[in-house]
Structure 1
Amino acid sequence: MTKNKDFVATYWPYLFVAIPVLLQLIFFFYPLFNGIFYSLTDWNGLSSSYEVIGLQNYIDVLKDGDFYTSIAFTFIFTVGLIVGEIVIGILMASLLNRKIKALGFFRTWYFFPAVLSTVTLGLIFSQLFNFGIPQIGEFLGIEWLSENLLVQENTVIPSVIFVALWQGLAMPIIIFLAGLQSIPSEIIEAADIDGANRSQKFFKIELPFLLPSISMVFILALKSGLTAFDLIFSLTSGGPNGKTESLGLLVYNYAFVDNKFSYANALAVILFVIIGVISIVQISFSRKFEV
Structure 2
Amino acid sequence: MNKKMTAFYLMVIPATVLFFSFHTLPVIMGIFYSFTNWNGLAPSYKFVGFKNYLNVIKDAEVYGAYWFTFRFAILTTIIVNAISLLVAMGLHARIKLKNAFRAIYFLPNILSMLIIAFIFNYFFSNIIPDLMKNLGADSLAFNILGRVETAWIGIVLVTVWQATAFNIILYLAGLQTIPADLYEASSLDGANKWKEFWHITFPMIAPFFTINMVLAMKNFLMVFDQIVAMTGGGPAKATMSISFLIYSDGFQGGSFAYQSANSVIYFIIIVLISVFQLKVLQRRETSL
TM-score range, shorter chain: over 0.9
Q: CA RMSD in A?
A: 1.7
- For 2:75, the equivalent position in structure 1 comes to 80
Q: Distance in 1 between matches of 2:42 and 2:85?
A: 51
Answer whether contact 2:108 2:161 (CA < 8 A) is retained.
Answer: yes
Distance 1:144 1:113, change over 3 A: farther
TM-score (norm 1): 0.93
Report the counterpart of residue 127 of structure 1 in structure 2.
Answer: 122
CA spacing shift, 1:47–1:130, aligned 2, 3 Å:
same
* Structure 2 residue aligned with 1:211: 206
The residue number in structure 2 matching 1:97 is: 92
Long gaps (5+) in structure 2: none
Residue 162 (structure 2) pairs with residue 171 (structure 1): no
Q: Distance in 1 between matches of 2:136 and 2:210?
A: 43
Is 1:224 the counterpart of 2:219? The answer is yes
CA–CA distance in structure 1, aligned partners of residues 61 and 189 of structure 2: 57
Shift, 1:192, TM fit: 2.0
Aligned AA for 2:136?
Answer: G
**Residue 286 (structure 1) aligned with residue 281 (structure 2):** yes
Once the two structures are TM-superposed, the CA of residue 11 in structure 1 deviates from its matched residue by 5.2
Aligned-residue offset at 1:238: 0.7
* Equivalent residue pairs, number: 286
d(CA) in 2 for partners of 1:27 and 1:187? 48
Distance 1:141 1:79 in 2: 36
Cα distance in 2, alignment partners of residues 194 and 24 from structure 1: 55
Structure 1 segment 58-77 matched on structure 2, within 5 A = 58-77=53-72
Shift of 1:147: 0.5
Q: Would you say 1:16 and 2:20 are equivalent positions?
A: no
CA contact (8 A) 1:42 1:53 kept: yes
- Whether the 8 Å contact between 1:41 and 1:50 is mirrored in structure 2 is yes
Residue 158, structure 1, aligned to residue 150, structure 2: no
- Superimposed CA distance per residue, residues 195-241 of structure 1 (whole angstroms, 9 cap, x where no aligned partner): 21111111111111222112211122112211111111101111110
CA deviation profile, 1:102-154 (whole Å, cap 9, x unmatched): 43332222111111111111111111111101122223333442111111111
1:33 to 17, 28, 36: 28
Report the 3-state secondary structure (helix = DSSP H, G, I; strand = E; otherwise coil) of the residue aligned with 2:284: coil
- The partner residue of 1:43 within 16, 30, 38 is 38
Tell me how far 1:101 sits from its aligned partner: 4.8
TM-score relative to the length of structure 2: 0.94
2:98 counterpart letter in structure 1: L
**Alpha-carbon offset, residue 100 of structure 1:** 5.3
> What SS class does the counterpart of residue 97 from structure 1 fall into?
helix
Q: After TM superposition, which residue ranges in structure 1, 4 or more long, deviate above 6 angstroms?
A: none
